Structure formats: C-alpha cells, structure tokens
Structure 1
Amino acid sequence: MAGRFELYKDKAGEFRFRLKAGNGEIILTSEGYKQRASAVKGIESVKKNSASEARFEKKASGADKFMFNLKASNGQVVGSSQSYKTESGRDNGVQSVMKNAADAKVEDQTA
C-alpha cells in the first residue's frame, strides 16, 4: 500500500498535514497553517524536498531521543518526525519519507 498525506484541521482551527506510510504509521507532520492553500503548498514542498537526503536535518536530543526535520531550500522546516528510540529508527524514518512522499496521494479531510 502506498503512502498518503492527510490534510486536516486541528482543534485550534489550523490546517495541518501528516504523511503516513503504507502501513498507516505517521512518518511526518506539519506545523499549523492559517490558510488551507498554505498547507497544500507545504505538501508540495515535502514532495519536492524529500527526494534529497541533504534536506533532512537529523537530530539527537538526549538519551533515546532521535528525530528529524525536513527543510525546504530556503531552510524553513516543512515537516517533522516523531521521536525515535534509536538513531537507526530515525534513519529508517527518513528513508520512509523519501520513499513515500513523492507519489503519495492527498486525502483531504477538511471538507
């Protein structure tokens, strides 16, 4: 099963998206956007920038806390991962985003 983006509205009324792998696991989440169109542009940015491993900022924050951010060419973060227990888990997450994002369909849950 292919990955997919879910476009949704959060409790504060902001638009967000998340990228899910084929198994349904969330592998990337966005910040909140005031406008739906901005969130859609964020999805397009993830699709474009996820092709380059250099766009991923890999981070370690203390013991058993690894995560990554995906950045656009201007350096702005367009998506962040969950927290992983291991460095290899985080790196597998990066590979999953690279594999799933480009061809992922968008499921619009805002209608």
Structure 2
Amino acid sequence: MEERERHILEALRDKITELSLNMEKMKLAEYVSLLEHPWRLLYVNFLAGLARGVGIAVGFALLGAVLVIILQRLVMLNLPVIGGFIAEIVTIVQSRLGP
C-alpha cells in the first residue's frame, strides 16, 4: 500500500507543478493586482478603448479611400450597366469630401 501512496503523491506533486506553471503563464497575480486597483483597471480599459476607436477610424478611412479609388477605375472602364451608377456614387462621395 505504501508504494501506491507514494505513486499518488508523485502524481499529485506533478499536477500541482503543472498548475503553478499554468497560473504563471496566465499572469494570474498581475490580474488579481489589477482587480485590487479599480482606478488602474479603468485607466487601462479606457486606453484600450481609445486605441480600438482610433484603429477603427483609421481602418475605415483607408478602406473607404481604397473603395473610392476602385470605383473611379471602374467608371473609367465605361461598363454599360453599372458605370452610371458607380459614377453617381463617386460624385456623391467627392462632393461630400469637399471642394
């Protein structure tokens, strides 16, 4: 019976070691520290939201610019069915952008 108990204790020690390594990988201590300081948590989340908002705005502007360029090129091809429709869209977008 002693051999079986030793085997169980070794398996338990291995599991505890594995669990502690996984907790270190998750950075659990840093997360708990962040939860203990709510103002820091708000600050970090505010900065993350600000970065997401700026990223979305820049990405949408770039995507819109590329789309307008593609539409302008399609208008130059004089496609019979959609050429007029695309020309109207490009005109509307350019008039809203400015002079």
TM-score range, shorter chain: under 0.3
Q: TM-score, normalised by structure 1?
A: 0.25
Query: Which has the higher relative contact order, 1 or 2, with Cα contacts under 8 A spaced 6 or more apart?
Result: 1
More helix by share: 2
Q: Which structure: greater strand fraction?
A: 1
Query: What TM-score does the superposition give when structure 2 sets the normalisation length?
Result: 0.27
Larger Rg: 2
